[in-house]
Every structure is written in C-alpha cells, then in structure tokens.
Amino acid sequence: MNGAVPVNETVEAVARAHRDEWARLVGSLARRFGNLDVAEEAAAEAFATAVARWPTDGVPRNPAAWLTTTAQRKAVDRLRRENQRDARHREARMLHDDTPPEPLGLVDDDRLRLIFTCCHPALAMPSRVALTLRLVGGLTVPEIARAFLSQESAIGQRITRAKAKIKAARIPYRVPSADDLPARLSGVLAVLYLVFNEGYLASGPGTDPVRQDLTAEAVRLARLVRELLPDDGEVAGLLALMLLTEARREARVEGGELVTLDEQDRTRWDAALTAEGHRLVRERLVAAAAGTAPGRYQVLAAINAVHTSARDVRDTDWSQVVALYDQLARLDPSPVVALNRAIAVAELDGPEVALALVEHLGSDLDDYHPYHAARADLLRRLCRDAEARAAYDRAIGLTGNTAESAALTRRRDTLR
C-alpha cells in the first residue's frame, strides 16, 4: 500500500481499474464459481469496497490482484450464506463447465467465454445487448436503461431473465468450437454493431442525436474482441468501420442538424482514429490479396476508408465506392445495401440513373426513412420539387433522430 492519496487520484484509479479489469474479473469469477449472478455481484462488491477503502488505504500496487482476491472472498461469503440457506437450490443454479480447457489454437480467455455466453443465439437480441453491456462492459442497469430509453426495472428484469435462462437451459460457458466460431462470432459482432449504431444515430426524441457514450462503449468492446481474436478479419473489419465512423463524429452535427458526408468540414475529422482505421483496412486488404475473402464488415470498412481518404468530397473515388457496394451486394443482397449502392451510383452516373435504381426498392423500404431521404435528395437534384417535397415529408415523419429531422426540414424548405 502506498499510503493515503488525493481523492481525485483514487477516483481515477478506481475508474481505470473498472475499465480495464471488470470483464476479466466477472469472467474469471463466473468460471471459478460457475454462476453469473455470483460473479456479477461479487465483482460489483469488490469495486464498492475499493471505492470505500482506497482513499484511506491507498491504491494497491496491483489493483487487479487486489480486486480478484476481494471479489473471490465476497463470492465465497455469499455462496456460504446461500449454501446454508438451501444447498440443493444453489446446486441447481450452477453453470455447467466440466469441459477441460481444449487446445483450440484460440486464446482461451475468460472474457471471451463471457462474451460468447452473453451473446448466445438462444437469447433474444435485446437481452444479449443488455447482458453484454452489464457483464462485459460493466455498465450499471441505470446506465443501460438510459442508453436505450427504457425503464430501469425493465432492463433489470431482462438481465435477470437472461441469466436465469443461461442457468436453466444450461447454456455453456465456453468459447465455441472452431467449426461454430464464425457463426457465433458474427452474432457477437451484431450485438456490438447494434450498440454502436444506436449511438451513431440515436432513435429517441428525448436524447442527444449522437450518443458518444454508446459509440465509445461499442468501440471499447470491439477493441477487446480484437485483442482476444486478433486474426479474425471480420473483427478487424468491424473495429475499422466503427473507428472510421467515429472519426467523423465531431463534423456530423452542426447547430443541432445532422451534416451529410458531402457537406462535412473534413478538417474536423479525428486524424488518429482515421489513421488507425486505415491501418486495419490495409491489413485486411493484404489478407484479401492473399486469398481470404472479406466479409461484410470488412467491405463496409473499406467503403468508409475510401470516403475518409478524400480530403475533399470532390476527390472521392466513386467508382471504387460503387465497386465495393457491388461486392457487398453479393455478400448481402438486401434492399438496404441496394439503396446505399444507388446513392453512390448517383455520384458516378448521375441522379437520374440512381433514381431509377431507388424506385425499384419502394415496396421493400417504404417504412425506412433513409429510402425516402435518398429519394428526396435525388428528386431535388433533378428539380422535381413537388415530388421531392412529398418524399422529404415522408422521411421527416419516419425518422426519430432530432438532428436528422432538422437537416431534412431545412433541405425541404429550400425547395420552391
């Protein structure tokens, strides 16, 4: 122990330990005690103890070891109490893990087990998101409720139910086998991407249009998965996609209005995040040249790399962007991808060609506000003002994002 330290330094030390050690702590407790409830509560109690003790005792030389010892003691105490209350009940709650650690050629890390368990496909998507943010991200229930504009009780119940299903149905606490890994990993990445997207374009009227807390958390979790699975192309792709998107955050909102890519002040893009994203994309391009076919996150990251490589929107290599969208459409032939491809086609072949492509998508995307916004912009560029106005109205009616609504309204009001 180093003796008493200033309070703000201690607060900083606890926050840093929380950021760095929470997932590892919960993961190792879950494996050791075979119970997610015990792991979560013992980890939370250990941090509460740190908050109470470190200001007077000083920050321990090895905070991780101190937290592990403290949390294990808390877990043992709790299990002993429960054991006395009802031994059989406790046994029924045990998670199952009698698999010997297998030499998978993978990093066999408790945090990875934790992530795959929280993102198990037998859990509903909102449960996976809440459980991942709580157990891996270390967010509190009120923080998660705020992030998704839900009631705390609803989020708490969701997490409790998910943990109960993991126990009752015996969802295993392990890293999937090499055969199952790609499919299971894509489920994990979907959870992280959903968290990021909710931050990128927040859907509620009562919230900031861009939720940096959520995008930052998603980036942090993606970095963690990348650290644990450094050779996976889609993990690198998703992280790059997030970084290149996050790099533009400062320029995306101006005076409460969403600013489209072509109108953003590119000097405000974050150079460090852009550079890191470009490094990851280059790494994947080398792998692709060596014959590893890229997945959709890698292609999306490459598209963003083309955009962020242009110092001025007029320097954008649109033929490259369209070619990448062609590649993406082969992986994911969805109407949303076709819409984004059409928007790029407008820059290469003109708005008339693009509008013809967009009109085909109306039956599938009638409830999707970006479809109406894209159509409105194309009609505006073709001076078909009355139709553009109607399309802007549809888009404004459908978007839940305040800054996007403001930007669409301004563009609509420039029409004659």
Partner 1 sequence: MQYLVSVIDDKTNPGRDDREPLISAFNERLIADGHWVFAGGLADTDAATVVDNRGDEPMLTDGPFVESKEFLAGVWIWEAPDLDVALALAAEASKVCARKIEVRPFL
Residues that bind partner 1 (CB under 8 A): 92, 96, 98, 120, 122, 168-172, 176, 180
Residue 254 in 3-state DSSP?
strand
CB neighbourhood size of 309 (10 A) = 15
Plot region of 295 (φ>0 → left; ψ -120 to 50 → alpha; else → beta): beta
C-alpha angle with apex 197: 367 to 359, nearest 5 degrees? Answer: 30
Min dist. Cβ of residue 183 to partner 1 (A): 11
Min dist. Cβ of residue 170 to partner 1 (A): 5
Question: Which C-beta is closer to partner 1: that of 175 or that of 395?
Answer: 175
Question: Which C-beta is closer to partner 1: that of 93 or that of 380?
Answer: 93
Taking a C-beta distance cutoff of 8 angstroms, is the pair 358, 371 a contact?
Answer: yes
Question: Which C-beta is closer to partner 1: that of 167 or that of 284?
Answer: 167
Tokens representing residue 57 in the block = 């005792």
Question: Which C-beta is closer to partner 1: that of 167 or that of 296?
Answer: 167
Taking Cα atoms as reference points, which of 190, 22, 47 lies closest to residue 111? 22
Min dist. Cβ of residue 135 to partner 1 (A): 18
DSSP letters spanning 145-199? HHHTT--HHHHHHHHHHHHHHHHHTT---SPPPTTTHHHHHHHHHHHHHHHHHHH
Tokens representing residue 222 in the block = 């993606």
Taking Cα atoms as reference points, which of 246, 239, 207 lies closest to residue 225? 239
Min dist. Cβ of residue 89 to partner 1 (A): 11
Taking a C-beta distance cutoff of 8 angstroms, is the pair 195, 214 a contact?
Answer: yes
Q: What's the Rg (C-alpha) of the chain? A: 24
Question: Which C-beta is closer to partner 1: that of 156 or that of 172?
Answer: 172
Helix (H) or strand (E) holding 51: helix 36-57
Question: Which C-beta is closer to partner 1: that of 97 or that of 254?
Answer: 97
Contacts of 41 (CB under 8 A, 6+ apart): 74, 78
Question: Which C-beta is closer to partner 1: that of 1 or that of 122?
Answer: 122
**Phi, psi torsion values for 378, nearest 5 degrees:** -65, -45
**Residues across the chain:** 416
Taking a C-beta distance cutoff of 8 angstroms, is the pair 165, 122 a contact?
Answer: yes
Question: Which C-beta is closer to partner 1: that of 98 or that of 413?
Answer: 98
Min dist. Cβ of residue 125 to partner 1 (A): 17
Question: Which C-beta is closer to partner 1: that of 168 or that of 356?
Answer: 168
Question: Which C-beta is closer to partner 1: that of 127 or that of 274?
Answer: 127
Min dist. Cβ of residue 169 to partner 1 (A): 5
Min dist. Cβ of residue 179 to partner 1 (A): 10
Min dist. Cβ of residue 96 to partner 1 (A): 6
Q: Which residue has the tokens 């997490």?
A: 159
Helix (H) or strand (E) holding 289: helix 271-289
Per 3-state DSSP, the chain is made up of helix, strand and coil in percentages (nearest 5) of 75, 0, 25
Min dist. Cβ of residue 221 to partner 1 (A): 23
Min dist. Cβ of residue 98 to partner 1 (A): 8
Question: Which C-beta is closer to partner 1: that of 92 or that of 290?
Answer: 92
Tokens representing residue 104 in the block = 């998978």
Min dist. Cβ of residue 327 to partner 1 (A): 30
Taking a C-beta distance cutoff of 8 angstroms, is the pair 389, 410 a contact?
Answer: no
